[in-house]
Amino acid sequence: MAALQIITIIITTTMGNYCPSIEYKRNDKMIELPEARTIAKDLEKEILGKTIRDVSGNYTGHKFTFYYKDPNEYKNQLIGKKIAKINERNYYVEFEIEDYKLIMRDGVNIRYYDNKQTIPEKSKLLLSFDDSSFINITVAMYGFIGVVKNDENMNDKYYDMEIKGIGVLDQEYTFEYFKSLINDTTKKLSAKAFLVTGQRILGIGNGVVQDILFNAKIHPKKKIQNMSDAEIEALYNSSKNTIITMIEQGGRDTEKNIYGEYGKYKTILSSKTYKNSKCPNCGNAFKKENYLGGSIYYCEECQLNI
């Protein structure tokens, strides 16, 4: 398991609201765009149109599982209602359940079980359906789970960014848009900081950014202002093409889908893979450094920091 990165957590409890306002650097074991889209596609196939028969879960015992409002009310809100839609997001997994939405993010693990499988003992939220299949949700490290009315505002800045921002797969994410993100402030950032901080590009976190930078042949610490026009274009192209490839192959091999299976995309650089692999381009061993509250992995031959 990847080491937990620096987290500062501020929990607001206004009006009984369990929803946290979280300031953190994303760990490389979190839901990112490839997982969000893979999970959404599989859930659409398995649970769309099903009616929720029961809602349960152990809502205590994990202090970094954050719920929106009181999870004991989820049962009254969801039982008897149908899964109407699975929305595609960048960092979130989101069900539309008639007049409510179930929203999850961060280190949330979502598993689907058919009617022949045994219900697991550990659960942060369990949805049982009318055909005796069920979805079980657990949390690794930290995660957010919320049941929200469709017309309700959670006052969560990250969810607001998710809805209003531009992600890698959006039509608006053009090379011209990418270049417009470079200004007097952001040009002083490193390549990694530019891609993963400030929520300026939705869908890219500490996990997928390693392969994006490798494929672009750009060192994680290289400043944007020191890049040529060709390197900036390579960074844009890699940010899009790497993510698309990950999704086409069912997610990364460091993350599991709703069936508990690892994705088929073979991650080049991650906490799980870098030790036992060498650069596929030059054959050199990869390097690891602590940087920006987490780790970076790179090939010092192919990703020059100039």
Q: Which of 15-29, 223-237, 270-284 has the lowest mean pLDDT?
A: 15-29
Eight-class DSSP state of 6: P
Better pLDDT: 22 or 34: 34
State yes or no: pLDDT of 64 exceeds 80. yes
**Average pLDDT, whole number, for the chain?**
87
State yes or no: pLDDT of 206 exceeds 50. yes
Percent of the chain clearing pLDDT 70 (strictly above): 90
Helix (H) or strand (E) holding 294: strand 294-298
Pull the structure tokens for residue 185: 């402030």
State yes or no: pLDDT of 248 exceeds 80. yes
Tens digit of each residue's pLDDT (9 = 90 or more) over 128-155: 999 999 999 999 888 999 999 999 988 8
Q: Closest Cα partner for 80 from 50, 58, 47, 103?
A: 50
State yes or no: pLDDT of 124 exceeds 50. yes
Pull the structure tokens for residue 64: 């970094």
Cα–Cα distance between 238 and 271 in angstroms, integer? 20
pLDDT value of position 2? 37
| Spatial CB neighbours of 258, under 8 Å, sequence gap ≥ 6 | 39, 42, 43, 46, 110, 111, 112, 135
State yes or no: pLDDT of 12 exceeds 70. no
Ramachandran sector of residue 290 (left: φ over 0; alpha: ψ -120 to 50; beta: rest): beta
Q: Which of 26-40, 182-196, 289-303 has the lowest mean pLDDT?
A: 26-40
Q: How many residues are listed for the chain in this entry?
A: 306
Pull the structure tokens for residue 7: 């987290």
pTM reported for the whole predicted model = 0.86
Pull the structure tokens for residue 211: 């392969």
**In contact, 2 and 214? CB cutoff 8 Å:** no
pLDDT value of position 62? 61
pLDDT value of position 99? 96
- Pairing state of beta strands 125-129 and 134-149? antiparallel
Q: Closest Cα partner for 204 from 181, 227, 230?
A: 181
Confidence of residue 29 (pLDDT cuts 50, 70, 90): low
Cα–Cα distance between 112 and 257 in angstroms, integer? 9
Q: What's the half-sphere exposure (Cβ side, CA atoms, 13 Å) at 179?
A: 11
Confidence of residue 1 (pLDDT cuts 50, 70, 90): very low
Cα–Cα distance between 298 and 294 in angstroms, integer? 14
pLDDT value of position 14? 32
State yes or no: pLDDT of 216 exceeds 90. yes
User: Mind listing the domains of the chain with CATH numbers?
Assistant: 7-164 (3.20.190.10), 175-298 (1.10.8.50)
Tens digit of each residue's pLDDT (9 = 90 or more) over 260-304: 999 999 999 988 887 778 999 999 999 999 998 889 999 999 998
Q: Which of 20-24, 122-126, 164-168, 187-191 has the lowest mean pLDDT?
A: 20-24
**In contact, 46 and 257? CB cutoff 8 Å:** no
pLDDT value of position 30? 78
Cα–Cα distance between 168 and 293 in angstroms, integer? 24
Confidence of residue 61 (pLDDT cuts 50, 70, 90): low
